[in-house]
Structure 1
Amino acid sequence: MSTLYLTILFPLIGFILLAAGRDKLSENVAAIVGVGSVGLSALFALLAGLAFTSSGQPVFVQHLWTWFNVGGFAPGITLHLDGLSLLMMGMITGVGFLIHIFASWYMRGEEGYARFFSYFNLFVASMLVLVLGDNLALLFLGWEGVGLCSYLLIGFYYSNPANGWAAIKAFTVTRVGDVFLLIALFLLYQQFGTLNTQYIVENAASVMTQSSSLSIWTALMLFLGAAGKSAQIPLQTWLADAMAGPTPVSALIHAATMVTAGVYLTSRMHTVIEMAPAVMQFISITGAVTLLVAGFAALVQTDIKRILAYSTMSQLGYMFMAVGAEAYQAGLFHMLAHAFFKALLFLSSGAVILACHHEQNIFKMGGLRKKIPFVFWCFVIGGGALAALPIVTIGFFSKDAILGAVYAQSTLANLPLYNTLYWVGVAGAFLTSIYTFRLIWVVFFGEEKTEAHAIHGVTYWGPLAILAFLSTGVGYFLQAPVLKLLSGANIPAFTIPEQLEAAVSHAEHLASGVAIVGLVIGIALFVFAYNAVKSFAATGLGSGLAHICRTAFGFDALYDIVFVKPYLLIAKILGRDPIDGLWLVLPALVKGGNSFTSARQTGSLREYASSMSLGVVVLLMILIIIQVVGK
């Protein structure tokens, strides 16, 4: 475990070498450095994990050095390994390594190959700093690091201005969330006198007052910070536009790294958030609304990557529902399951895009089942896990546990709100089955509209095969060790009382049944009644509903009116420097007075005499008024 720091050091060295070499490095050298550094990180993460689990210690702390010391505030560059950070480290390095391997195939021939892997390596290193840091200051350093890397990777194809704007949008929106997180750190330091994560988690109940205004604001700021990174309403608008980056970027951001940071933060700081029950309810409501909005948006998208992006937003909504319902372990296991099947789906979509000559519109594809059968089966497995098909997919063992906990919480907390949220979650599962089947059917069945070519290479099919295996029902065997790790990290398990077990089991089975019904309806709509669907879409009502869903309920347009246009107007006004302009009033008055008096110097005695007479009359009038007022 003493080599834990190497998990961060290797990708960091890879970043430095690739950034220094850039275009001087061949593609083979760049791939060896970029993929090899993350491979070594994954290897040492595995060794550290094996040593940690065999040691029986609940926590391992490795202090490297003191970052800075200002007025007694001295956060350290210190690594903290427990069950939760081990789970995150394994997910980041393991799935990240597979994505790096696939990217070495996908990005061949692209300009800036070494530059791409330098950003990729820095992304992994930053995410590891985020999850392994033992204090919130170090976490915030990694938090900002992944934000920077997301900007660089989303805007990787910078020659297209639209990609640059998408990168700026992602950077700006997530920075809003980061401001909230920074405020939360100030509030926590004010109350605890430290940003040491373990100390705050262990002493939250004794230091903070439940439901006090300070506790509520602290918990709310923490969640809003998490919402920015994890694309929850109202900070969700950047996620779909992040598809401007290369497809492996989408897989890394949406599966194993950036978007999971918010779930990790709220689960890690659960004792702080629990001091504000109202905020807990707000978190669940936000997750429920987000998953429903994202589900409707995914129904009508035509870009293969945007469909998967909205499905990511939807699945993150389930995870935050779990956090708000105190089912942290269920939410974190779903996060791991999501990393497997979403990485599989994004990488498979990358294979489809390359096979179709970089075409991303699903309605310009079709009939690919025969051309790329392996990718088809990967999509079937990943789509089944996304739709949480019972028994055979990992999604069944993770998502249904969340819905069962939310259903149980309505009774345990005596809050009918959670019963409503349960049905929202069920509706989300219904929508997921429909849009997942639509995606697979349109892309892989029917008439071939784009001439696709076969694709080859172990660096392409190897990562997909591993992820496909992990996305199947093998997840059942992963559940127990993962939950044991989380329990060892003092992440509470959601305990269902014996008298509720039957009702919760029924609720979980109902959710699975609804998902299957959604699949059947998807088959009916797109296989047997597709002409009727197109006819409805052509009507005024149908096109209107489709536009609302396609724009994800118009949040971008709303923010443009409320924030962007007023900001641009203010910037335009300030661009003329009105403050500096105010100081020009004084010289303008002096200049005007000079012009007026100069114009009076005419040399005419008659005008001078008239002016003097007028002045005498004015003075006499003033004196008379003073006398009258004085009496």
Structure 2
Amino acid sequence: MIASSWLLVAFPALGALILLAGGRRTGAWGHLLGCATVIASFVYGLALFFSSNGNPVDTKLYSWFPVGSLDVDFGFRIDALSLVFVLLITGVGSLIHIYSIGYMAADADRRKFFGYLNLFVASMLVLVLGNNFITLYLGWEGVGLASYLLIGWYTDRPSAATAAKKAFLMNRVGDVGLALAIFLMFKYIGSVSYAGVFAGIGHAPAGVVTAIALLLLLGACGKSGQFPLQAWLPDAMEGPTPVSALIHAATMVTAGVYLIARANPIFNVTADGRLVVALIGTVTLLLGSIIGCAYDDIKKVLAYSTVSQIGYMMLAVGLGPFGYALGIMHLLTHGFFKAGLFLGAGSVMHGMNDEVDMRRFGGLYRRMPITFVTFGLGYLALIGFPFLSGYFSKDAIIEAAFGQEGWRGWVFGGAAVLGAGLTAFYMTRLMLMTFFGKERWKDLKTSDGKDYHPHESPPVMTVPMIVLAVGSVGAGAFLSLGHRLVDWLVPSLGPLEEPAQTVIPHALVPWLTVALAALGVLVAWLVAGRRETPVERPEEVSAVVRAARKDLYGNALNEALVARPGLWLTRFSVYLDSRGVDGAVNGLAAALGGGSGRLRRLQTGFVRSYALSMLAGSFVLVAALLLVRFS
């Protein structure tokens, strides 16, 4: 079966080709084809999973491009890590596809939307299945293209076009880092295949290994929305809600974590590289959780929650051999509850005329009972409620962070547990403002004058939400029971090496995490539960809230460090080209043209003029000779 692993990609790729090239003839059944192709990949992925022992098996499909000493094959690697991602991408992706049938029912271009979704899934599968960094890069760029098309789906909205362009450009910054890392691999190791690079990385100069690790991290920061390239991720909410669920839960933002985990032999030999990864994850998890406390847009709160949770995963994989599997475990549990939360947010929007402002919600648990229950279970899993998914995966990362020696244990562990408290605060605030309290929407109208009539979504939307809610409850316990996931990932990531001791007592860490989460819930209830939520957003706020509303000046930082200097460089280059290069060429041409025009005036065609010129020349010559003779 492994020899036919290309079918995993072929199913959604064929669906994308038919839906995008078939035109409106596929409009009546295109959405069904889009779902069927991803479900087929999931079924085939399950078959591969149960027939594999997790050990790496590389399959060569064909010789891609042999150029001199660079011989790159297009092939796939089936191992424990790639199979886990295949099941996540196609499993959660299938549920999102099914949900989209109802969510996009009124869209005239629904079949094109499903074509883009299929393209997204196919590209992500190429990314995680490739057995070399060039094939990974192909899938990496395919995911970037598909995300651009889906984020900018609503072409009549300038904000959507801007968000799509922003995501595309900021990801290109990270892509440059990944490309440079591949160049260094070929120069110093002579290979770009996983087998060749991982076998030879120990013989490369230490500085080169660190440079490769940091450049890989730059690529991961762009794709996974990590500091300082996180600003595009919340703006990606401009796309339809199923797109948000697909990007934030099962595909694009997990690619950076996958890259670091896949390249673990590189990071294992550079402590500095691992330290920078852990620091980036720590900064990002705090940044995302702080900003999430200040937003009233339900999708953007969830978006910054994703930024924060991916930060936890990056922190985990930056902790070294004992952290890789923990990061992947949290990635899997996050895929369930975050997809469920986004689909739940889409269900709320579906019943509220696409409204996203939580200040205009309230009391929706009475109108949307299924959405309330499924969303609530995802919320509990996210904040780490005991024995739900997040409790097993996120708390394990916090324990591992406290297991670092010296200042690292205090900084990483302290930041991780603080992030848990902030997560509980902003998610509880979201729950209270959306589902509880006064029904504030009753006295409001949308901008086009329509009344709100909140109602439960159809079964085609609620059934995927129920399935994801089940995963939110039980996935963590299932994966952690008997170290099931950790043992499965050993062939790809190595054994889990739990820290011998922590900077605080080991048994105290879970209690501390639960206590801070409970404190966050209590503070949120005091802020949003006991008080009446004003419909209009208050403008007079503290400096901290004002900074959080401005994304902690992340956009301003990127503009100051990248966008504005780039604009200045562009303007200087244009000036240098127009006034320097073009000026020199045009000036020389003007001088020759002007000189030739003046010389042309001497050619009159009259013999007497020429004779007079000869006479004048003779006088000048005689005068010159006399001057020389008598001087």
Aligned to 2:525: 523
**Range that drifts further, 456-465 or 9-18:** 456-465
8 Å CA contact 2:261, 2:493 repeated in 1: no
Equivalent of 1:109 in 95, 106, 110:
106
Return the offset for 1:354.
0.7
Aligned to 1:44: 44
8 Å CA contact 2:9, 2:126 repeated in 1: yes
Q: Distance in 2 between matches of 1:534 and 1:121?
A: 40
Q: Does 1:225 align with 2:224?
A: no
8 Å CA contact 1:8, 1:128 repeated in 2: yes
8 Å CA contact 1:103, 1:248 repeated in 2: yes
C-alpha RMSD of the superposition: 3.0
Consecutive unaligned residues of structure 2, counting only runs of 5 or more, are 442-451, 602-619
8 Å CA contact 1:389, 1:516 repeated in 2: no
Equivalent of 1:483 in 463, 486, 490:
486
Aligned to 1:154: 151
What secondary structure, in the 3-state scheme, does the structure 2 residue paired with 1:65 have?
strand
Return the offset for 1:32.
1.2
**Paired residue type of 2:40:** L
8 Å CA contact 1:298, 1:311 repeated in 2: yes
8 Å CA contact 2:371, 2:456 repeated in 1: no
Q: Distance in 2 between matches of 1:418 and 1:534?
A: 42
**Paired residue type of 1:487:** V
What secondary structure, in the 3-state scheme, does the structure 1 residue paired with 2:385 have?
coil
Aligned to 2:26: 25
8 Å CA contact 2:276, 2:318 repeated in 1: yes
Return the offset for 1:473.
4.0
Return the offset for 1:367.
1.6
Return the offset for 1:507.
2.0
Q: Distance in 2 between matches of 1:94 and 1:473?
A: 16
What secondary structure, in the 3-state scheme, does the structure 1 residue paired with 2:384 have?
coil
Q: Distance in 2 between matches of 1:531 and 1:490?
A: 48
Cα pair distance change 1:575/1:490, threshold 3 Å: closer
Q: Does 1:271 align with 2:271?
A: no
Return the offset for 1:472.
0.8
Aligned to 2:327: 331
String of CA shifts for 1:304-357, please: whole Å, max 9, x gaps.
Answer: 111111000000110111111121111110000110000000000011001001
Equivalent of 2:398 in 403, 406, 412:
403
Q: Does 1:545 align with 2:544?
A: yes
Equivalent of 1:360 in 356, 362, 377:
356
**Paired residue type of 2:430:** L
Q: Does 1:382 align with 2:384?
A: no
Residue correspondence of structure 1 range 510-589 to structure 2 within 5 A:
510-529=512-531, 539=540, 542-572=541-571, 577-578=577-578, 579-589=581-591
Aligned to 2:204: 208
String of CA shifts for 1:122-156, please: whole Å, max 9, x gaps.
Answer: 11111111111111111111011101100011011
Consecutive unaligned residues of structure 1, counting only runs of 5 or more, are 600-614
8 Å CA contact 2:421, 2:520 repeated in 1: yes
Residue correspondence of structure 1 range 157-236 to structure 2 within 5 A:
157-205=154-202, 207-209=203-205, 212-236=206-230
Q: Distance in 1 between matches of 2:90 and 2:470?
A: 18
8 Å CA contact 1:405, 1:494 repeated in 2: no
Cα pair distance change 1:57/1:149, threshold 3 Å: closer
Return the offset for 1:447.
2.2
Aligned to 1:606: none
Q: Distance in 2 between matches of 1:97 and 1:404?
A: 33
Return the offset for 1:196.
1.4
8 Å CA contact 1:268, 1:491 repeated in 2: no
String of CA shifts for 1:460-502, please: whole Å, max 9, x gaps.
Answer: 11111110001014521222322121113243413232x5598
String of CA shifts for 1:546-592, please: whole Å, max 9, x gaps.
Answer: 22101111121232234333434554565575121332223445677
8 Å CA contact 1:378, 1:468 repeated in 2: yes
8 Å CA contact 2:96, 2:246 repeated in 1: yes
Return the offset for 1:509.
2.5
Aligned to 2:129: 132
Equivalent of 2:428 in 390, 414, 437:
437
**Range that drifts further, 562-571 or 336-345:** 562-571
What secondary structure, in the 3-state scheme, does the structure 1 residue paired with 2:560 have?
helix
Cα pair distance change 1:594/1:208, threshold 3 Å: closer
Aligned to 1:250: 244
Return the offset for 1:203.
4.2
8 Å CA contact 1:232, 1:286 repeated in 2: yes
What secondary structure, in the 3-state scheme, does the structure 2 residue paired with 1:67 have?
strand
Equivalent of 1:61 in 58, 68, 71:
58
Return the offset for 1:527.
1.5
**Paired residue type of 1:561:** A
What secondary structure, in the 3-state scheme, does the structure 1 residue paired with 2:195 have?
helix
Q: Distance in 1 between matches of 2:574 and 2:159?
A: 25
Cα pair distance change 1:492/1:582, threshold 3 Å: farther
Q: Distance in 2 between matches of 1:488 and 1:594?
A: 79
Cα pair distance change 1:534/1:503, threshold 3 Å: farther
Return the offset for 1:456.
4.0
**Paired residue type of 1:560:** E
**Range that drifts further, 187-196 or 39-48:** 187-196
Return the offset for 1:379.
1.5
**Range that drifts further, 294-303 or 571-580:** 571-580
The structure 1 segments of at least 4 consecutive aligned residues displaced by more than 6 Å after TM superposition are: 531-535, 591-599
Return the offset for 1:510.
1.1
What secondary structure, in the 3-state scheme, does the structure 2 residue paired with 1:584 have?
helix
8 Å CA contact 2:75, 2:131 repeated in 1: yes
**Paired residue type of 1:528:** R
8 Å CA contact 1:22, 1:112 repeated in 2: no
**Paired residue type of 1:464:** M
What secondary structure, in the 3-state scheme, does the structure 2 residue paired with 1:74 have?
strand
Equivalent of 1:285 in 279, 282, 288:
279
Q: Distance in 2 between matches of 1:281 and 1:193?
A: 27
Return the offset for 1:452.
2.9
Cα pair distance change 1:557/1:263, threshold 3 Å: same
TM-score, length-scaled by structure 2? 0.89
Q: Distance in 2 between matches of 1:134 and 1:80?
A: 5
Cα pair distance change 1:37/1:473, threshold 3 Å: closer
Q: Distance in 1 between matches of 2:547 and 2:16?
A: 42
Q: Distance in 1 between matches of 2:553 and 2:493?
A: 41
Cα pair distance change 1:60/1:590, threshold 3 Å: closer
String of CA shifts for 1:143-194, please: whole Å, max 9, x gaps.
Answer: 1110110001101111222211111110000011000000001111222211
Residue correspondence of structure 1 range 486-497 to structure 2 within 5 A:
486-497=489-500
**Paired residue type of 2:77:** H
Return the offset for 1:361.
1.1
8 Å CA contact 1:215, 1:276 repeated in 2: yes
